[in-house]
């Protein structure tokens, strides 16, 4: 029988796959489509994919935030401490990386609500940063239980 932690872990991993999968596709695949189909047709492709992503992206980030917070409480709490083990230190770095992603997503959502354009550098490179940070989080997650 599955316990609560295992269900939350599976939910967290599923949301992470959806989130990073979209970011990977955006960074690695959509760039090729721009060269292949031209800027005008690529704009239509990006808008179509973006409409779906705007529905999924915030929900997956929220799911990651809530499930991650739940799982974090197992390893960092008043009884376990915060900086006592290598696992806790790696978890804190992982939380820092995730916080940077969440801050960027929040900035993007706020700009959209205010009907403003994000800073051009942010708009152009945010998904690249998210991909690097996301891969860092995955590596840290696997390293936490090995080191």
Q: What is the mean pLDDT of the chain?
A: 91
Domain that holds residue 64: 4-144
Query: Taking 90 as the threshold, does the pLDDT of residue 9 lie above it?
Result: yes
Arithmetic mean of pLDDT, 90-103: 96
Q: pLDDT class for 38, splitting at 50, 70, 90?
A: confident
Computed from CA positions of residues 10, 107, 117, 136, in that sequence, does the dihedral angle turn out positive or negative?
negative
Domain count, the chain: 1
- pLDDT for 7 equals 96
Task: Report the DSSP beta bridge partners of residue 83.
Answer: none
Predicted model pTM: 0.88
pLDDT digits (tens, 9 = 90+) for 39-54: 888 888 888 888 888 8
- pLDDT for 52 equals 86
pLDDT digits (tens, 9 = 90+) for 75-90: 998 888 888 999 999 9
Inter-residue contact 133 to 100 (CB < 8 Å):
yes
- Residue 43: C-alpha distances to residues 39, 103, 108 (Å): 6, 26, 19
For the chain, how far is it from start to end, CA to CA, in angstroms? 29
């Amino acid at each position: 029988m599955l316990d609560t932690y295992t269900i939350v872990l599976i939910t967290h991993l599923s949301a992470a796959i959806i989130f990073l999968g979209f970011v990977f596709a955006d960074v690695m695949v959509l760039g090729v489509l721009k060269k292949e189909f031209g800027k005008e047709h690529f704009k239509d492709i990006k808008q179509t994919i973006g409409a779906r992503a705007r529905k999924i992206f915030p929900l997956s980030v929220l799911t990651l935030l809530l499930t991650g917070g739940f799982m974090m409480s197992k390893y960092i709490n008043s009884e376990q401490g915060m900086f006592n083990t290598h696992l806790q230190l790696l978890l804190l770095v992982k939380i820092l990386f995730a916080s940077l992603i969440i801050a960027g997503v929040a900035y993007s959502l706020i700009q959209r609500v205010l009907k403003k354009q994000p800073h051009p550098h942010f708009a152009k490179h945010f998904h690249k940063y998210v991909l690097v940070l996301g891969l860092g989080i995955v590596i840290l997650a696997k390293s936490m239980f090995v080191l």
